[in-house]
Amino acid sequence: MRQVRTIRYREIAEDLRSRLEAGEPTSGRLLPSEAELSARYDASRVTVRKALEVLRGDGLVDSRQGLGWFVAGEPVRQPLATLGTIEAQLAGSGVRSQRRILDFAFVKAPSAVRKVLGVDKVLRVVRVNLADGEPFARVTVFCPEDLGALVSRAQVAESSFYDLLPVEVGGAVQTIGAAAASATDAELLGVPTGSPVLRCERVTSDREGTPVLLAEYVFPSHRTEFIVALPHVQASIAPSGLRLVE
């Protein structure tokens, strides 16, 4: 009987495919590095890369420079046209959200925070946001001490500051830029240290224009998209809101 020769990279691709279809790992999760996969399958990195390219062609995996290979899936999309919470945006997409509080403490305001909020002592809340059980954002929120004293750790684990604070929100300014994951954020978000992330700073003010919240969000770049609605088309060679960093 004639034997059919099996091409090694296809063997590897099929084994990885079966693992992915079984949910190992889940959408957005990083795969082992090419070096680790080479050792696991006792194959060269060229062979492993060919297997991964097969799976990329089938839409099962993708890769980013500085990040590696990951399980393909729908990114978390966040419209910027209106002021809202991450949880509300996720719920609208049918995604289950959860907050894991890492720190809840009254501290001396860092100089950058004091400059924005104009106070010497603040409530600092650090949390990880999860989408369908997977981490997708590290969030740090600073609030003036007098307002922070009105909320508890349990409350901020379940609700937004917008719902908890007795102030009428007037609006917010968001600044979004590219950054590299610190060792701490890399561990929290399950990405390599130094890999690309998106950093969003949001300053929320009350109706009188007084800043009442300063928040920093760090998102893995492969899991997040920000969407800006442009109601009026303007003649420009650059996206609306773009500015050069000095």
pLDDT digits (tens, 9 = 90+) for 85-106: 666 666 666 777 889 999 999 9
Q: Please spell the DSSP secondary structure of 26-45, one letter per residue.
A: -TTPBPPPHHHHHHHHT--H
28-32, 123-127, 170-174, 238-242: the lowest-pLDDT one: 238-242
Residue 208 CB-density burial (10 A; 0-12 exposed, 13-18 middle, 19+ buried): exposed
pLDDT digits (tens, 9 = 90+) for 206-230: 999 999 999 999 998 887 777 777 6
Nearest to 190 by CA among 10, 18, 32, 51: 32
Q: How far apart are CA 125 and CA 186, in angstroms?
A: 19
Residues facing 64 on adjacent strands: 68
pLDDT of residue 4: 40
Q: Are strands 97-108 and 224-227 parallel, antiparallel or unpaired?
A: unpaired
Say which residues have a Cβ less than 8 Å from residue 20's Cβ, sequence separation at least 6.
55, 60, 61, 71
The more confident residue out of 22 and 87 is 22
Q: How far apart are CA 132 and CA 138, in angstroms?
A: 15
* CATH of the structural domain 76-227, one choice from 3.40.50.410, 3.40.1410.10, 3.30.70.3040, 1.10.1140.10: 3.40.1410.10
pLDDT digits (tens, 9 = 90+) for 122-169: 999 999 998 878 888 999 999 999 999 999 999 999 988 988 999 988
Sorted by where each begins, the domain ranges of the chain are: 8-71, 76-227
Could you tell me if 21 and 55 are in contact, meaning their C-beta atoms sit under 8 angstroms apart?
A: no
23-27, 33-37, 184-188: the lowest-pLDDT one: 23-27
Q: Does residue 242 surpass a pLDDT of 60? A: no
CATH architecture of 8-71: Orthogonal Bundle (1.10)
pLDDT digits (tens, 9 = 90+) for 35-71: 999 999 999 999 999 999 999 898 888 888 878 888 8
Is this structure's pTM higher than 0.95? no
Question: Which tokens belong to 156?
Answer: 């901020």
